[in-house]
Structures are given as C-alpha cells and as structure tokens.
C-alpha cells in the first residue's frame, strides 16, 4: 500500500514554484466626527417635596367575646323576666281589668301565667301602685292606705243619690231582680231617673226577662260595678246579715222569721259609691 504523503514529480515541481507576495493596499481610515452635546441649562430653584401627613392607623374594633351559653335556669329566668315586662305593659295600657285569658293570648305558648302574675305582684308589693284582682281580672291600683292623702289633690267624682245607692245594693244582693221586686224590697217606688243614673254609670245592665205575666226586665250588676268597688267577684260582697241596722226578731207577728234584707247600702259601697262617666 502506497504512502499518501508521497507526491508525484509534477506536483513536486508545482510546489517548488515560489509565490510572490502582494502588498496590501494602503486605504486611509475614515474620520469619525465627534458628537456635539448641548450644554445643559442651569437648574431652576429646587421644588420642595410636599410632606405627606403621618399615616393614621385604622381604629381597632374590639371583637366581642363569645358569650358562653347560659344554664337552663338562667334562660328560664330571662324568659320569665321578658314575659313579666310584657304583662306589665299590658296592665298599664289597659283601662279595664285584664283577664287571665287575655294574658294567655299575649304571652308565648306554654307560658306560666300564674308565675308571671306572682312575679309581677311581688315586684309591686308595698309600693304606691299595687296589682289587685278585681272584676275577674287584674289591674294596677293605688295602695289603699294612700287614698286619704290622694283625695286632697284629686277631684272626687260626684256621689250617687241615696235612692240610687239603695237600688244598687238591692240589685247586687238579689240579682237578677225586676223593677217591681226592687220596689217591694225598698218599700218605695223606683223612679226612672234613678234607674237611668245607674245605667249611665254603667253599674247595672239588663239580664233578660222574667217568665211571668208582662215579662218584666231583670237587672244585674256589671263588671264595672266590681271594678268600681274593688271586688273580685260577687262573693266578696259583705254578708247581708252583717249589714242589718237592727238584728231581726226571732219571729214576726205571723210566726215567720223576716228575711234578712239590708236596710241600707253596705258601708264599703256607700263610702266608695261615686258615679263614673258613662264610658268607664
């Protein structure tokens, strides 16, 4: 195998010819102009940097602490207090005695009306205004021991005539009673004026008609009568036996004991028997 470095005679002759050196042309370098920068103007007066107001931190809003759940006893006490306040507002706003049924309708379902009334009565015990039971309901009234002093500054309504008070007492103890029966018990005729005065005061009312010839009207007292004299119901009236001026004799002329009938109105009714306006 031949050596690749071996050259032929022709190639060797060409390689022996000298190569003349060609001088590089003398080309002058182009002149680069120097850029001219404008002379800066002198700076004007310094503008003060406005001072920013100090940063006000946002107010810290206190986060309410989680209130621990109260015990069942505390929850019941709060609920009872809320019911007592509601019942108190109703009693003050009502002009007439408030019945237990009205309280039951006002309070929440399942409310203990007796507990509410007991708490309210205890709250006002011994104060100038007390909770009393009259006319089948509840009402705030001034304390009885303060009545004499209040009469000095409060105008007392006019009293009913004696005939009207006697008629009212007979109706209260014998109701329902007719006009002829009232006249028979009183031993005197009953004028229409006397009857009208009791009707205008709202102390008596018609109670049907008696099934006798002529079917006369029967009369009875009203809830306003109970409220006027501070009675819870008619059972609170004094006994008729205690109102007799003279004790009855054991026997009458005919051998029969006379009926115990009050000769005059009860003392308590006589003292408090004042006429009320017709809308009372």
Domains for the chain: give ranges and CATH numbers: 74-150 (1.10.10.10), 162-272 (1.10.10.10)
What is d(CA 267, CA 273) in angstroms, rounded to the nearest whole number?
10
> Which of 197, 164, 156, 158 minimizes the C-alpha distance to 264?
164
Instruction: Assess contact for 185 and 174: CB atoms under 8 A.
Output: yes
**What DSSP state is assigned to residue 8?**
-
Six token digits for residue 240: 């008729």
pLDDT on residue 96: 82
Instruction: Assess contact for 140 and 95: CB atoms under 8 A.
Output: no
Kindly report, residue by residue over 109-137, the tens digit of the pLDDT: 777 888 888 888 888 888 888 888 887 88
Arithmetic mean of pLDDT over the chain: 75
pLDDT on residue 67: 58
> Which of 222, 247, 251 minimizes the C-alpha distance to 97?
222
**What DSSP state is assigned to residue 273?**
-
> Which of 207, 239, 238 minimizes the C-alpha distance to 222?
207
pLDDT on residue 271: 44
Residue 116's contacts (CB-CB under 8 Å, 6 or more residues apart) are 80, 83, 84, 87, 103, 107
pLDDT on residue 106: 83
Judged by DSSP in three states, 2 sits in coil
pLDDT on residue 220: 92
Instruction: Assess contact for 218 and 207: CB atoms under 8 A.
Output: yes
pLDDT on residue 100: 83
Torsion angle defined by CA atoms of residues 263, 179, 173 and 269, in that order, rounded to the nearest 10 degrees: -60
The segments of the chain whose pLDDT lies below 50 read 250-280
CA dihedral sign of residues 131, 134, 135, 141 = negative
pLDDT on residue 4: 56
Kindly report, residue by residue over 83-112, the tens digit of the pLDDT: 888 888 888 888 888 888 888 888 877 778
pLDDT on residue 259: 46
Burial 61-92 (b: 16+ CB within 10 A, else e): eeeeeeeeeeeeeeeeeeeeeebbebbbeebe
């Amino acid at each position: 195998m031949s050596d690749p470095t071996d050259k032929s005679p022709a190639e060797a002759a060409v390689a022996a010819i000298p190569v003349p050196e060609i001088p590089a042309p003398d080309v002058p370098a182009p002149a680069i102009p120097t850029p001219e920068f404008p002379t800066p103007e002198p700076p004007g007066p310094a503008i003060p940097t406005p001072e920013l107001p100090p940063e006000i931190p946002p107010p810290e809003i206190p986060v309410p602490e989680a209130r621990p759940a109260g015990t069942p006893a505390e929850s019941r006490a709060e609920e009872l207090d809320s019911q007592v306040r509601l019942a108190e507002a109703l009693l003050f706003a009502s002009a007439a005695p408030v019945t237990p049924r009205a309280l039951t309708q006002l309070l929440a379902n399942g409310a203990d009306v007796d507990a509410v009334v007991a708490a309210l009565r205890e709250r006002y015990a011994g104060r100038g205004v007390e909770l009393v039971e009259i006319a089948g309901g509840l009402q705030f009234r001034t304390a009885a021991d303060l009545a004499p002093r209040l009469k000095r500054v409060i105008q007392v309504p006019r009293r009913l005539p004696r005939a009207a008070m006697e008629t009212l007492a007979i109706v209260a103890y014998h109701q329902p009673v007719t006009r002829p029966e009232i006249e028979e018990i009183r031993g005197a005729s009953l004028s229409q004026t006397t009857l009208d005065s009791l009707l205008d005061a709202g102390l008596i009312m018609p109670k049907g008609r008696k099934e006798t010839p002529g079917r006369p009207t029967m009369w009875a007292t009203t809830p306003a009568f109970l409220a006027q004299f501070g009675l819870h119901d008619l059972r609170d009236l004094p006994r008729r036996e205690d109102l007799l001026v003279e004790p009855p004799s054991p026997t009458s002329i005919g051998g029969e004991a006379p009926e115990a009938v009050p000769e005059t109105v009860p003392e308590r009714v006589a003292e408090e028997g004042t006429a009320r306006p017709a809308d009372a």
